[in-house]
Each structure stands twice: as structure tokens, then as C-alpha cells.
Amino acid sequence: MEYILRNKIAEAVRSLYNKDVDLNLIQIQKTRKEFNGDYTLIVFPLIRCSKNTPEKTAEDIGNFLINNLPAISEFNVIKGFLNLKISDKWWADYFKDFCFLDDIFLPCRVAKPEIILVEYSSPNTNKPLHLGHIRNNLLGYSLYKILKSCGHNVIKTNIVNDRGIHICKSMLAWLKWGNGETPESSGMKGDHLVGKYYVLFENEYKKQVEALMKQGVDEETARQTAPIIIEAREMLVKWEAGDTKTVEIWKMMNSWVYQGFDETYRKLGVDFDKIYYESDTYKDGKELVLKALDNKIFYKKEDGSIWADLTADGLDHKVLLRSDGTAVYITQDIGTAVVRHNDYKFDKCIYVVGNEQNYHFQVLKAILKKMGFAWADGLIHYSYGMVELPEGKMKSREGTVVDADDLIEEMINTARDVSLELGKLDGYSEEEKNEIFRKVGLGALKYFILKIDPKKNMLFNPSESIDFDGNTGPFIQYTYARIRSVMRKAIQNKIDPDPELLQSAQPNAKEIELIKLIKKFSETVTESAVTYNPANIANYCYELAKEFNQYYHDYTILGEKDPVTRNFRLMLSDRIAFVLSEAMGLLGIEMPERM
């Protein structure tokens, strides 16, 4: 409709004022709720053609549209704004066409699809995934689904931080206090077991730092000279040098972690097309840095460390290789970016990483451009806010994080308790119940996280997320299940929706508003793809579910006596369920057929 309006308004300007107008000057937006209309034309840019007041120009164009575009039923002028009302017939015809639309995402397709890599998860192998990782994974996976629905070629990638001082800390603690403990002997998931030793290391490190400070050593010196941190650094040097024993322990403990990660990813319903490992890409990064040093792009200090001067970019000097020759995080990110571009020749690479790394990605892009990689302009840091709990921030090194596995289990158990309390699952088998509990629990978790604007910090409250009323996943899932129940009852009563009867249907005002919301789906998906914001889709789902529930309360569906009206209401309900399912699917949320 926006396309039709824009071209018809251009025709009006030609006819009324004998002027050709640039379509970009024709600004159309949705009419604000406090005014009567569906679309609003901002008239001010067109007065250069009319040589008249905004109000008179709006009146002229409004009358032309009434006489030449049957879809316009009425208009009103508010100062320099022309509010246009679309006829009920046009909306009814739109719904009839929508009922036969096989590909609901067709209107969202972009004219020029791109190759887009979306990197998410990016875990460290010294600890299990936690609540912060859950937000990361859900945002990344949803971005993938949204961009793919718009026609882009999207590749889901993960970069595993499997090297560095962090894993050496867990390895050293396991050597000191593990006594050969394994996931099998302990009964712990592998990522949990390795995380346990990371916390043990940090506890001992803290004690040693405090002991040195009591001896009069300043805190920074104490942190640098504590015996256990020196041992960890020595282990990192041995690892990079390929020491056989060190590498064997590293492989063993990382294998435990990978198995644990895979189990958590399966529970969460996310996956990857390609997993990169920093233990591979840091080597590429080192080679690239050394080559750039030879080409005078970087410089070396007296201690042997290698640096990039980014002051011309408004940034600082950045170390790329330490004096002992070991790589820093930015070095492996350089290697990973180049390897990925060689693999996929991407147009864009979206890094789903928290906002505490904003500066890091400015530096990464600046370094790659300094090295001559023009494609670095396609690197996008998808910066999102942190997840906090009612009791405050999480701290991995102190073992005060909310473990992802524990949270998923808690959400499913809470869904079980709430569902059983409502008493709506009588007669279901245990297997059916458990599947519903899983879908509802995970739906609550995913929706609560994704409905928040990604840029904002968020406070996660599990009890609020599982509510069956309000702006929650279970409320939307229940709306879908309610419609599916109506459709099953229609089949039981031998009432088959007939698309041919739609030709005679005359939707009422409430039904027209629901049709308008159905049309809003493709616009919302398109906007979410452009802004990288799944929250738009989440809140659209709530708006549609809320309006349908009010409609369900006010109007009978199966009990309607008029067969044409009943048929229309069944098909409207069915299409709303379909849109809800597809929209929630873009958030990675499954919809239960029964609740």
C-alpha cells in the first residue's frame, strides 16, 4: 500500500501542479494513534511544487486521491499532515489474498541479498555457559532467523575461546588439586567440572594477593607477582611452544567442555554452521601481525612487543604481541576475521558481543583497515546490554553466575508447577505434559530476554517471565493453543473453513483492526532485519495476541449462526495462529498445540 500511495501521490502532483516530484520527497508514515487514519503524508516537502500553504496542498492531494484511488475512503488534514483512511473493502480484499499466500515472508524479501555472518556465543573453555551467554545465543540465533527470512544468505558462526590465560588457570588448578578427577568419576558435566577448577584457582589467587599486600606489597604488584599467576603464565608460554604434556591436558579438558557446551546448545535450541577455534586462528593472527610489522604498518618496542599506532583514528596504541611473543585477544580476532572472509567472502560480519567490548571492536576494525582489508567496513559490533539479577551482577571468577543449565531446568520446572496448578492438562500423558512444560519454560525464558531492546541492560526475573498473563511468552503460546483448540473443535463438528465463502464476508471494525495487525507482520520483520532488533517482533506478537484475546472475549466463533460470518472468523483465527507461530519462530520459540 505504501508503494501504491507514493506513486499515486506523485501522479497527483503532476496532475495538480504540472511538476515531477522525486519519490524520496514523498514521506509516508503510519498515522499516529490519536488521529483518524491509516497512513499519513507529510506535506511540507511538496509545497515547493504547489506554491501554496501546507493545508491547501493537503486538501488538493486528498481530494485527488479520493477521486482516483478507490482504496482511500476518507481523509483529514491536520496542519501540514494529510491523514488517509484505507477502505474496509481494501482490507477485506487484502485478507482474502493473504489466506492464499504460501510464503508469509515474501513481502519481507530484500532486493539485494547479502552474505552475512552472525557470530554468537563465543564461550571461554574455562567455565560453563551462564545467563549472559543465554542472552547472547538467543539474540544471535534470532538475528540469523530474521535476516534469513528476508532473503539474506546467513551463516551462523561461533568462535570458541579455547586458549589463553583463562584455560591455563583451570588446567593448573586441576593439576594441583584434581587428583585425576573426570566428568565420569565426578558425575559432573564437563564444562561444570572445568569451571569448578577455574573458581578454585581464583580463590587461591585472591588469598596469595591478600597475603602479599599484608607484607606491604601494593595491589597491582601483588597481582602480577603472586606465585600461582606466574605459574599460569609459564603454562601459557609452554602451551604456545607446543609442550607435549601441556597440550595433552589442554586437549583433554577442552574436550570435556565441548561435550558440555553441545548439551546446553541442544537444550537451548541453537546451533552453528561453522565453529572456529582461537587455538587455530591466533596463529593466523600472529603471522599477519608479523607480516604487517615487516611492511612498517606496526612497530616494535624495545622489550620486543609489537604495537599498532591508532591515534590517527582517534584511538590509542594497541599491543598485538607481548614481549614474550604470546598473542593477545585482538591478535586472534584479526586472524579469525581474515580466515572468515577467505572462507565466505562475506558482505557483513555481525559480532554479537556485550557492550563492554565496544572499544575492542573499534580497535579491531581500525587495525584491519590499517592492514589494507577494505572489507573491514562490513564488520558490525552488535553491542547489547548486560543481564543482571535482582541481587546484582554475576561474577564468573567468584562462582556467582546463574548457570545456563540450571536456569533452563528451573524454567521448565516452574512451567510444570504453574501448568499443573492451572489444571489444564488433565488426561495428557506424561510424555505430552513434559513436552509442553519444556516448550512453555523455554518460551518464557526466550521471550522475556528477547522482548527487551538489545541495547538496554536488563533485569532477569524468572517468576515474572513464566506468567500466563501480560507481555510474556506463555501468554502468547496460550493464545496460539486456544486458537488451535477452536480449529480442532471445528473439525470435530464437521465445520471446514471454506475460502470461497470469504468473497461474501463483511468484516466488522474489530476484525478490520486484526487484519491491519496481520499486515503489520511483514513490516515488523523488515524493520527488525534493518535495525537488528528482535524485540520489535516479540512485542508485535504480544500486541496481536492481546487483540485476538479481546476479540475472542467479545465475539463468538464456532457459536456464530451465520455460516459466512462463522467461516470468516475461523479463517481469521487460523491466520492469526499462523502468524503468531511464524513470528515466534523467528525468536526460536516453539508453539505448543495444547496447553
Flag whether pLDDT at 463 surpasses 90.
no
Flag whether pLDDT at 110 surpasses 90.
yes
pLDDT for the residue numbered 400? 52
Band of residue 396 on the pLDDT scale cut at 50, 70, 90: very low
Would you kindly state where each structural domain of the chain is located, as residue ranges? Answer: 2-86, 411-585
Cα separation, 438 vs 410, whole angstroms: 11
Average pLDDT, stretch 565-571?
Answer: 96
pLDDT for the residue numbered 461? 79
Q: Could you tell me the sign of the dihedral formed by the alpha carbons of 182, 184, 185, 191, in that order?
A: positive
CATH 3.30.1360.70 fits 2-86, yes or no: yes
Provide the terminal-to-terminal Cα distance of the chain, rounded to the nearest Å.
37
Band of residue 558 on the pLDDT scale cut at 50, 70, 90: very high
pLDDT tens digits along 19-38: 999 888 899 999 998 999 99
Flag whether pLDDT at 2 surpasses 90.
no
List of E strands, 411-491:
458-459
* Opening angle at CA 39, ends 76 and 81, nearest 5: 45
Q: Could you tell me the sign of the dihedral formed by the alpha carbons of 91, 97, 100, 104, in that order?
A: negative
Identify the residue whose cell numbers are 584434581. Answer: 178
Highest mean pLDDT among 428-432, 466-470, 562-566: 562-566
Other C-beta atoms lying within 10 Å of the C-beta of residue 366: 18
Q: In the chain, what is the greatest distance between 2 CA atoms, to the nearest angstrom?
A: 91
pLDDT tens digits along 203-224: 999 999 999 999 999 999 999 9
Flag whether pLDDT at 167 surpasses 70.
yes
Residue 245 carries which side chain, given as an amino acid letter? K
Band of residue 326 on the pLDDT scale cut at 50, 70, 90: confident
Q: For 382, phi and psi rounded to 5 degrees?
A: -85, 90
Cα separation, 194 vs 128, whole angstroms: 8
Which of 192, 124, 202 is CA-nearest to residue 169? 202
DSSP for residue 269: T
Helix/strand/coil percent split, the chain, to 5: 60, 10, 25
Average pLDDT, stretch 182-203?
Answer: 96
pLDDT for the residue numbered 425? 80
Helix crossing, 88-99 with 563-585: angle to 10°? 70
pLDDT for the residue numbered 397? 44
Give the number of residues written for the chain. Answer: 595
Average pLDDT, stretch 525-546?
Answer: 97
Flag whether pLDDT at 399 surpasses 70.
no
Q: Which of 24-38, 46-60, 419-433, 557-571 has the lowest mean pLDDT?
A: 419-433
Q: For 147, phi and psi rounded to 5 degrees?
A: -65, -40
User: Residue 403: left if φ>0, alpha if ψ -120 to 50, beta else—which one?
Assistant: beta
Which of 324, 335, 283, 282 is CA-nearest to residue 301? 324
Band of residue 394 on the pLDDT scale cut at 50, 70, 90: very low
Per DSSP bridges, beta strands 115-119 and 153-160 are parallel
For residue 248, what is its C-alpha cell? 595433552
pLDDT for the residue numbered 431? 93
Band of residue 391 on the pLDDT scale cut at 50, 70, 90: low
pLDDT tens digits along 334-389: 999 999 999 999 999 999 999 999 999 999 999 999 999 999 999 999 999 988 77
pLDDT for the residue numbered 401? 66
β partners of residue 352: 382
Q: Whole-model pTM above 0.85?
A: yes
Band of residue 420 on the pLDDT scale cut at 50, 70, 90: confident
Average pLDDT, stretch 400-422?
Answer: 85
Average pLDDT, stretch 92-99?
Answer: 92
- Cα dist from 499 to 178, 293, 314, 480, 505, whole Å: 68, 70, 62, 21, 10
CATH number of 411-585: 1.10.730.10
Band of residue 548 on the pLDDT scale cut at 50, 70, 90: very high
pLDDT tens digits along 288-323: 999 999 999 999 999 999 999 999 999 999 999 999
Other C-beta atoms lying within 10 Å of the C-beta of residue 315: 16
pLDDT for the residue numbered 339? 98
Per DSSP bridges, beta strands 348-354 and 153-160 are unpaired
pLDDT, the chain, mean: 93
Residue 390 carries which side chain, given as an amino acid letter? P
Cα separation, 299 vs 286, whole angstroms: 14
Average pLDDT, stretch 413-432?
Answer: 84
pLDDT for the residue numbered 398? 47
pLDDT for the residue numbered 334? 97
Per DSSP bridges, beta strands 153-160 and 274-277 are parallel
Band of residue 501 on the pLDDT scale cut at 50, 70, 90: confident
